[in-house]
Each structure stands twice: as C-alpha cells, then as structure tokens.
Structure 1
Amino acid sequence: MRTAVVIGVGNEYRCDDGIGPALIAALEEHWLPGVKLIVSDGEPARLIDDWADVPLAIVVDAVLCEPSTPGEFYRTDVPLDDHDHQGDPALESHPHTAGSHSLGIPDALRLGQALDRLPQRLVVYAVEAADVGFGAELSAPVGAALSRLVDAVLSELTSPLPQ
C-alpha cells in the first residue's frame, strides 16, 4: 500500500529547474517502503493522477522570486479546503515557476478539487532558482541546498501523519 508520493517537478536540462528530478535521484538511494518517487513535468492532469487518494503527497519545484535568494526553500502544508494562496512562493502560479512548464501546482489543485482527486495531505517545497537556462548542472547555491532539501523531505516522510 502506498503511504506517500514524492513528486519532483522540473526539467533536468534547465539548470536549477532540475532540482525536483535531482531530489528524486537522491531519494532513490534511501530505502523508503510505501513511498513512490516520481519525476514530473508539472502537467496538472499527471500531478492529479500521481497524488490522488494518497495519504501524503510531497511536491518539490523550483521557483523564481524577486528579490531572489537562490537555494533558499520554502515549505507549505497546503490546506486542501482553501485554494487562495496568493503571495505564497510555493504556490504562486505561472509567472514565478522556474521551468518550462506553463501550468503549475495551483492549477492542479483547482482541477483536483473539482474532480475530487486530491491527496489527504499536500506539502510543497519551493526552491528558489538562480539559473533556468539550458544546461544539466544545478547552480552552486541550489546544488548546495540539495542535501538540506533531502533531509527535510526524509523528515517529512518519517514524521507521523497529523490526525
């Protein structure tokens, strides 16, 4: 039985937009029974299929912020009964997503709510990007944040689910 899914959103060939896939690769080195690890392009229908009816879904994506602190990341425990997340860098819509995906988590939330296909709990980690140009390497500050991000997600996965 699947107890959690971790979805790394991004494109590994767009520098820091590859933080989601890099996280999934790092987590694959850990024994995580009941946890499904997925690399996603962030397309809402696929996100909904990946997280529907799972007790815990963790989504990791890169974002562009102004002013920017590359490598900084934000954790949001998304209230699934309230989809007004203006100003939350983890859930801002298209203009702040870092990668080439034009729709994002807010779109998937709205669609998932309409279709009654949400996880029981959704946690989003948004990582501030420095460079989303073409290339397969994370920038130095985002690369340096990867181990802290892995630790944060592992902690999330091993914590008891709130009642």
Structure 2
Amino acid sequence: MRPAVALIGIGNPYRRDDGIGPAVVTAIGNRHLPGLTVTVTDADPSRLIDAWSGADLAVIIDAVRCDPSIPGRIHRTAVSAPGPGPAAASTHGLGVPDIVRLAEALDRAPRRLVVLAVEASDLGFGPGLSPVVAEAVPLLVRNVLGELQAAHHPHPRTPRASQHCPSALRR
C-alpha cells in the first residue's frame, strides 16, 4: 500500500515571493500521483492541520527570510518526530513549528514533515515572483518530486538542495 502524502503550498500569490508555495504546486500540476493530496493555503493553522492529518509524509513549500539573506536559496528541513522547540516568528501569526506542536498535541501531525523553503527577495504587494525566486521554481519542483518518489521508493533518493539554516522555518 502506498503512503498518503500531502503536498502543501503556503503563501499568497499577491505578495510577490510569498507566492512561491502556490507557484510550485501549480508547476507540479496534475501529475496524477497516487496517494497525493494537494493544498494551497495561507498557513491558517486549521487548514494546515486538516491538509496533513493522517499523512505519512507532508511536504510544505514556503517562502522564508534568513539573516543573512541569499534570495533564491533553498532550505530543506525534515522533521520525523516533532517535539518541543523554540517558537518561530512568522508573518502568518503562528509559524510552522508552532503549528506542528499544536498538531502533535491534537494527535494530527504527519508521520514525517519536509519543509522546502526558498529565501524571498520581495514580499511587497503585487502578483509574480521576483526573477531570482522564479529561477528556483524548477529546482523546487524536482525536489518535491524527489520527496514524493522517496515516500514510495525509499532508495535511491533523488538529489536535492541540502542547505539548512536554523531560521529556515522563519519569516
């Protein structure tokens, strides 16, 4: 039996690079991948929890701000056993780590969570990604497809971005 996988694009396409999550989900399109549910959300905690509840794997695509910032850089953060940790500041009210802890308390967290975040250049008003963030979309699509493939076939894994910074889940 194939695992249930939730693909979640977080963001607002009318806030420039904040639209990276919806853009990647759109780029993946209707590939008819078995066991996959796709959600686009603004990171409302109840929508996120509903989207990944019961999933063996949840893959989230989101924009991030790091200091120092390298716009377009991709961060991958995997969580297999969510637990206590510092709260993260977020433009969404609650950050993803906070929502994971809430889902854990409600026994509705995914078995495994992978966050693919791209550093934003422009979070101002208006549609369209900045050029540097738009250039990251093809790599993010390959990374997401690699995560989905690995969920169904654990070996071999598809190469993907491996950069990680402690603030990768922050905005």
- Stretches of 4+ aligned residues off by more than 3 angstroms: none
Question: 1:133-144 maps to which residues of 2 (within 5 A)?
Answer: 133-144=124-135
Q: Which residue of 2 aligns with 1:93?
A: 88
Q: Which residue of 2 aligns with 1:61?
A: 62
Q: Which residue of 2 aligns with 1:18?
A: 19
Percent identity between matched residues is 48
1:83 and 1:109 in contact (8 A); partners too: no
1:15 and 1:137 in contact (8 A); partners too: yes
- The TM-score with structure 2 as length reference comes to 0.82
The superposition leaves residues 118-150 of structure 1 with CA deviations (integer Å, 9 ceiling, x where unpaired) of 111111111100000011110111000000000
Shift of 1:29: 4.3
Q: Which residue of 1 aligns with 2:147?
A: 156
- CA distance in 1 between partners of 2:7 and 2:151 (Å): 16
- CA distance in 1 between partners of 2:27 and 2:33 (Å): 12
- CA distance in 2 between partners of 1:160 and 1:34 (Å): 10
Give the root-mean-square deviation of aligned CA atoms. Answer: 1.8
Structure 2 alignment gaps of length 5 or more: 155-171
Shift of 1:93: 1.7
**Which of 115, 123, 138 is matched with 2:114 structurally?**
123
Shift of 1:81: 3.9
Q: Structure 1 residues 108 and 65 mapped into 2: Cα distance closer, same or farther (>3 Å)?
A: same
- The TM-score with structure 1 as length reference comes to 0.86
Aligned residues: 152
1:52 and 1:118 in contact (8 A); partners too: yes
2:3 and 2:57 in contact (8 A); partners too: no
Higher mean displacement: 31-40 or 123-132: 31-40
- CA distance in 1 between partners of 2:119 and 2:24 (Å): 14
- CA distance in 2 between partners of 1:125 and 1:45 (Å): 20
Q: Structure 1 residues 79 and 56 mapped into 2: Cα distance closer, same or farther (>3 Å)?
A: closer
- CA distance in 2 between partners of 1:47 and 1:36 (Å): 12
Structure 1 alignment gaps of length 5 or more: 87-91
- CA distance in 2 between partners of 1:109 and 1:82 (Å): 8
- CA distance in 2 between partners of 1:119 and 1:104 (Å): 16
